[in-house]
Amino acid sequence: MKLMVIDGNSIINRAFYGVRMLTTRDGQPTNAVYGFLNILQKLTDEEQPDALCVTFDLPAPTFRHLAYEGYKAQRKGMPDELASQMPLLKDVLEAMNIPRYELEGWEADDLIGTIAARDAAAGWDTVVVTGDKDSLQLVDEHTRVKLVSTRMGQTTTKEMTPETFRAAYGFAPIHMIDLKALMGDASDNIPGVKGIGEKTAMDLIQRYGSVEAVYADLEQVEAKPAVRKRLAEGAEQARMSYELAAIRCDAPLDFRPEDAKCVPVNAPALYELFLRLEFSKLIEKLGLSAPGVSPAEASAPAACARETVTERARMEELLALWRERSHVSLVALPDRNAVCVEWGEPEHSRTALFCADRLESYNDFLRGLFAPDIPKVAHNVKDLMRGLLEEGLPIGGFVFDTALAAYLLSPTDGSYELEKLCVTYFNREISKAGEYLAPDAFGPLADPAGPEKALSSHTALVEQLYRTLAPRLAELGLEQVFSRVELPLCPVLAEMERAGMLVDRKALADFGVMLDERLRSDEAAIYALAGERFNINSTQQLGNILFDKLGLPPVKKTKTGWSTNAEVLEKLKGRHAIIDTILEYRQYAKLKSTYVDGLSKVIASDGRIHTCFQNTVTATGRLSSTEPNLQNIPVRTELGAELRKMFVAPAGWVLVDADYSQIELRLLAHIAGDEAMIAAFRSGEDFHTVTAARVFGVAPGEVTHEMRRRAKAVNFGIVYGISDFSLSQDLGVTRAEARAYMEKYFETYSGVRAYMSGVVEQARKDGYVSTLMGRRRWLPELKSSNFNLRSFGERVALNMPIQGTAADIIKLAMIRVRDRLRAEGLAARLVLQVHDELIVECPEEEAAAVKRLLTEEMESAAALAVPLTAEAHAGRSWAEAKE
């Protein structure tokens, strides 16, 4: 039989610092509990223990504190964000029927030792799960220790057995106590012997076995006289440290191994807890549900009356009714021939289902429902519009998008599925969308009861979310960015996705052939320089060639050997000809696999690539592009930039490309109100040259290319809250030089310094930062006791108002451009947005008008203290237009 015992305080600490900050909608931190549960799940899956328990420390002093006043005296108190999660974790463990053990006057380690001893006596094996090395002394033929580390949400474990311990340390595990007795333990404030470090202590224990053996005949110990003197002077400290470091295995604990046998969880209690903690993924993973009530029933309004519409007269009656209402809520499946609509007051709401196989005039119904004169609330409006366009249907009249509203209210959540929002806002589950997403879910051969119920419950949830989220948007001042930016952008994005960008398939294939030739050439050159053939893409084999055979100095080691990543190879440039060739080979391989092969696979039957614009992903409000990502086409390398030549206009048409000039720096000038910076932009001179002249104290005409390059790096670095260390790395100068550049910069633009300090302080008070249009990003990290998290929050506080406002402005520009193209009756259409750049496809004869229109609408999208400038160019390809 096998029992797994978890060091509760140690593992929740590692989860807290290893998992990004998570909070419920009312601000309760949950990252430590979430991380703990994921670690628990991973380890129980690996070990499949017969029994399981968790030990905890209590705040009362233990016998060690009484024996030595300085024991753990230097430790700071538990951060508030973690302390508030300890009761939650214990509630969760209780609901999971996992016994926990804590005993006043004893540490969790002693309870673990006692449990392991009782297990051994009963013939059981023990697996100790901890993040601390203290428990390694318990390793024996019946006890293994799994050391846990967590970083950025990724958990790794290192298992220690008697064999692996001896291989690592050179002595038996029990003598870990002796090692600490000599070297001490700073984390627990165990003093050890003054002047004896880890290396000396390891050597002594490896040779003599124990503290007792070292002191049995100190004069005969083979060591430097100074070491023997320190040992002699520290004998009393060593013995006391031994007692402090030794885990006791005789705690008066009411424990038997069979008491901790694994049993099923208390599903109702755990379900309620996970709902409160908003752990929707864990609810799904563990298959939890509300007791006695199906998710669909739990989410449906009590007084909701349902009907399935089969007659045209009833359809027309409802369409007429809805035109007079403030709104209806709906879930529509354009490509699956079903729509569910809810309307009415909360206590008297009604739901109607429309299916193609039951309503002959279904297409007429769709054209009426999605006309502009029926106000509609839906979830993920942009995706719905894309589906409607695919079916040749109108996309008018949408007045609210519950996904966009949830995103604006909590922009770092990452996903906004209806099922998740039901847990977040109403603490209950809802039936899964998969129940009605099957292509034939409403077909004549299907049993419609399940799909109809699921679809109806989701439609009801859309209405409930609307009633909940709309007032919150108003309360937090988010109505403007919602109604002026995000919602009006949905049809623009849907039309752009539908349009796509034309690709010159032959040119792309020829580019791939050229890359293949260069890859073969580089491959042969690498083999020649290495003196043998090997797998260039194998880190281990490449490491052997570079560091063992060629004798290059290793830079960075990983768990599997020497690193050969790009950062390492950049540092080795100039030391051997093979390095430059490998870097070039990797560049060609990336271009070939990711772009040539990747893009070729997603060219649609119309010869175009139809990317998907994600509008609820980034915390700053910027759009992202997926399937494929067209915002990530390389531009910095000459060969990478060749890919833009593959995106072309149809015959007789051109692409018009326009982008903002230094929009984030202009926004910094406006938001900071820095007069010197504002004057520089208003002058129309090159801003980087002006900055260089002021920072280096020369006339603008005397600014060299290098001066301007450094000024540019400082200008953009400041926007992103760069440190002097990072700036020194970017510029290839010392840290002191980088710091001097930054100081001179802040002397020149003193308003920027005042803004940077002010915005962070204000964010600490408010708990968030916002853009000029009111878009918010919440920053719980600013109150974190963790330095790295707090520093991250400070950088975000500096950058988000600028980058987020830039995102708002480019979105406004997209809306204005699309509307004006329509108003002027042009055939031109927006096809791509890349950060601060817009691309329009138009007939050649419209190019001049489109260039003028693009520039005018982009430059007038916002009124700032400095001019917004945009330049537009036309060409047969993206590359040509960009030039």
Q: Identify which of 7-21, 154-168, 427-441, 795-809 has the greatest average pLDDT.
A: 795-809
Residue 617 CA to residue 623 CA, distance in Å, equals 8
Burial of 499 from C-beta contacts in 10 A (0-12 / 13-18 / 19+): middle
Measured CA distances, 372 to 17, 488, 494 (Å): 50, 13, 16
User: Residue 494: pLDDT above 60?
Assistant: yes
Residue 285 CA to residue 272 CA, distance in Å, equals 15
Which candidate, 759, 766, 762, 748, places its Cα nearest to that of 795? 759
Mutual angle of helices 750-766 and 787-823, in 10-degree steps? 100
In the chain, domain spans? 2-167+248-260, 304-500, 664-805
User: Residue 141: pLDDT above 70?
Assistant: yes
* Average pLDDT for the chain: 89
Which candidate, 310, 308, 323, places its Cα nearest to that of 362? 310
Residue 880 CA to residue 845 CA, distance in Å, equals 17
Residue 304 CA to residue 342 CA, distance in Å, equals 9
Joined together, the tokens standing for residue 650 give 């149809």
Specify the range with the lowest mean pLDDT, choosing from 96-100, 135-139, 295-299: 295-299
Joined together, the tokens standing for residue 655 give 């692409």
Burial 537-565 (b: 16+ CB within 10 A, else e): eeeebbbbbbbeebebeebeeeeeebbbe
Q: Which band of pLDDT confidence, cut at 50, 70 and 90, is reported for residue 280?
A: confident
Sign (positive or negative) of CA dihedral 678, 679, 680, 685: positive
Q: Which amino acid is at 322?
A: W
Q: Do 354 and 341 touch, CB atoms closer than 8 A?
A: yes
Which tens digits make up the pLDDT trace of 576-599? 999 999 999 999 999 999 999 999
pLDDT at residue 764 in the model:
93
Which candidate, 380, 464, 386, places its Cα nearest to that of 417? 380
Q: Which band of pLDDT confidence, cut at 50, 70 and 90, is reported for residue 112?
A: very high
Q: Do domains 304-500 and 664-805 have the same CATH topology?
A: no
Question: Structure pTM?
Answer: 0.81
Residue 477 CA to residue 801 CA, distance in Å, equals 15
User: What is the rounded average pLDDT of the residues 169-192?
Assistant: 82
pLDDT at residue 75 in the model:
66
Residue 210 CA to residue 217 CA, distance in Å, equals 12
pLDDT at residue 128 in the model:
95
pLDDT at residue 206 in the model:
87
Other Cβ atoms within 10 Å of 392 Cβ, number: 10
Q: Which amino acid is at 404?
A: L
pLDDT at residue 738 in the model:
87
Bridge-based pairing state of the strands 653-660 and 837-843? antiparallel
Joined together, the tokens standing for residue 471 give 């007032």
Residue 21 CA to residue 31 CA, distance in Å, equals 5
User: What is the rounded average pLDDT of the residues 731-750?
Assistant: 88
Q: Which band of pLDDT confidence, cut at 50, 70 and 90, is reported for residue 660?
A: very high
User: Residue 303: pLDDT above 80?
Assistant: no
Other Cβ atoms within 10 Å of 736 Cβ, number: 10
User: What is the rounded average pLDDT of the residues 735-742?
Assistant: 88
Q: Which CATH class is domain 2-167+248-260?
A: alpha beta
Q: Do 878 and 645 touch, CB atoms closer than 8 A?
A: yes
- On the question of a cis peptide bond just before residue 628, with omega within 30 degrees of 0, the verdict is yes
Which tens digits make up the pLDDT trace of 595-632? 999 999 999 999 999 999 999 999 999 999 999 999 88
Which residue would you say has higher pLDDT here, 732 or 123? 123
Which candidate, 453, 446, 418, 432, places its Cα nearest to that of 356? 446
Joined together, the tokens standing for residue 739 give 């710091």
pLDDT at residue 878 in the model:
96
Q: Which band of pLDDT confidence, cut at 50, 70 and 90, is reported for residue 152?
A: low
Measured CA distances, 141 to 116, 134, 148, 617 (Å): 11, 18, 21, 51
Sign (positive or negative) of CA dihedral 480, 482, 486, 489: negative
Which residue would you say has higher pLDDT here, 211 or 419? 419
Which residue would you say has higher pLDDT here, 684 or 408? 408
pLDDT at residue 410 in the model:
93
Specify the range with the lowest mean pLDDT, choosing from 145-154, 501-510, 547-556: 145-154
pLDDT at residue 445 in the model:
57
pLDDT at residue 446 in the model:
57
User: What is the rounded average pLDDT of the residues 395-422?
Assistant: 94
Specify the range with the lowest mean pLDDT, choosing from 248-252, 352-356, 429-433: 429-433
Burial of 867 from C-beta contacts in 10 A (0-12 / 13-18 / 19+): exposed
Which candidate, 419, 383, 414, 411, places its Cα nearest to that of 398? 383
Other Cβ atoms within 10 Å of 345 Cβ, number: 8
CATH code, 664-805: 1.10.150.20
pLDDT at residue 307 in the model:
92
Sign (positive or negative) of CA dihedral 205, 211, 216, 217: positive
User: Residue 859: pLDDT above 80?
Assistant: yes
Percent of the chain at pLDDT exceeding 90: 61
Q: Do 571 and 580 touch, CB atoms closer than 8 A?
A: no
Which tens digits make up the pLDDT trace of 220-235? 777 777 777 777 777 7
Residue 361 CA to residue 380 CA, distance in Å, equals 26
Q: Which amino acid is at 138?
A: L
For residues 520, 521, 526 and 529, what is the CA-based torsion angle, rounded to 10 degrees?
150
| Residues 304-500, CATH architecture | 2-Layer Sandwich (3.30)
User: What is the rounded average pLDDT of the residues 70-85?
Assistant: 78
